[in-house]
Chains A and B, each alone.
Chain A
Amino acid sequence: MSWVRAVVTEIWGLFVDDGWFALSILVWLGVGWGLPRFDLPPALACAVFAGGLVVLLAVSVVGRAGQRG
């Protein structure tokens, strides 16, 4: 069964490097999925969705750069 674990690990590794970063993306996708249900102007809803993803990326890289090692 070790090869099954190896395959699962490889597939997991394609999508998840930093667990918190991946989790925060998924949470934001949940927010993005719900955005059209709010009464926001369409352009604002798109900007909020894309902006949130960009902020998550920026926070993640700057946070990692601040760590030692």
Chain B
Amino acid sequence: MSGLWVHAGPTALAAFLACLVEAVEALTVILAVGTMRGWRDALLGSGAAVVVLGGLVAALGPALMTVPLGVLQIAVGALLLLFGLRWLRKAILRAAGVLKLHDEAAVFHAEQRRLAQVARATAWDTVAFATCFQITMLEGAEVVFIVLGVGAGNAMLLRSASLGALASLVLVVIAGAAVHRPLSRIPENALKFVVGVLLSAFGTFWFGEGAGLAWPGADWSLGGLIAVYLAVALIGVRACVSRRAHVGVMA
């Protein structure tokens, strides 16, 4: 039973942080649409996407529970690794200055400029509706995948992941409604760094379990995997900085 709680904490944290990143990105575009084209169609578009996503979760959640656990762990582990290692790779390269940091304020202003050039219909603003529907579906689908992925082990983990995601969603909605500006002060790359570490560790653990590997310490080895990925990612940032400097000197 203690093993379940060892997973529940990181599961809720991974879902909370991942949902925070995705919700902040969606909020930036929704704010840009709302301030430029009015809130009614922007909120209707986002609301419609939330309803569609809710339907998907209601359909997929119970269906996943009928898949044999080993098959589910292999599939979810592989997808989490592809997704998590991609996030972690990008976060390392951004932290080392190899790739540009994601700038919510720049995204906000670019979206406002784009919307200003599109003609507005009088009664029903399809551009506002479609833009908000699309961004909410896209970022929301990532959240659904992460929640289902990290909570794939059993119903308790799925509840932990859902609660983590819900908590961050409520937090971002309250913050967005309060400040009416993109939440550009949130250290998005640091969050992606941590989420990448957590998802990679979960993916490694789930895939190994599904393949029949016997992890030393059973569920406790998840903590070891998190520590290893974190250490390698931090060393990776330093290695990238020094490699970049070396390439710059050679050029």
Contacts and interface: CB of A to CB of B under 8 A. Distances in A.
B232 A25 contact: no
A33 B85 CA distance: 18
Contacts of B214: 42, 45-46
A46 B98 contact: no
Interface residues of A, number: 34
A14 B83 contact: yes
Contact of B229 (A33, A43, A54): A54
Contacts of A54: 228-229, 232
Give the dominant DSSP class at B's interface: helix
Contacts of B246: 66
B86 A32 contact: no
A61 B85 CA distance: 11
Contact of B89 (A15, A43, A61): A61
Contact of A50 (B86, B88, B208, B233): B208
Contact of B211 (A14, A18, A35, A65): A35
B123 interface: no
A32 to B, nearest CB: 6
A21 B81 CA distance: 11
A32 B73 CA distance: 13
A24 to B, nearest CB: 10
Contacts of B243: 62, 65-66
B244 A65 contact: yes
What secondary structure prevails in chain A residues at the interface with B? helix
Contacts of B92: 57, 61
Nearest to B231: A54
Contact of B96 (A56, A57, A65): A65
Q: How large is the interface on B (under 10, 10 to 19, 20 to 34, 35 or more residues)?
A: 35 or more
Interface in B225-245: 225, 228-229, 232-233, 235-236, 239-241, 243-244
A32 B232 contact: no
B39 interface: no
A17 B91 CA distance: 12
Contact of B74 (A33, A46, A53): A33
B240 A32 contact: no
B212 A57 contact: no
A62 B78 contact: no
A36 B211 contact: yes
Nearest to B225: A50
7 contacts: A14-B86, A14-B145, A18-B89, A42-B216, A46-B208, A49-B213, A58-B236
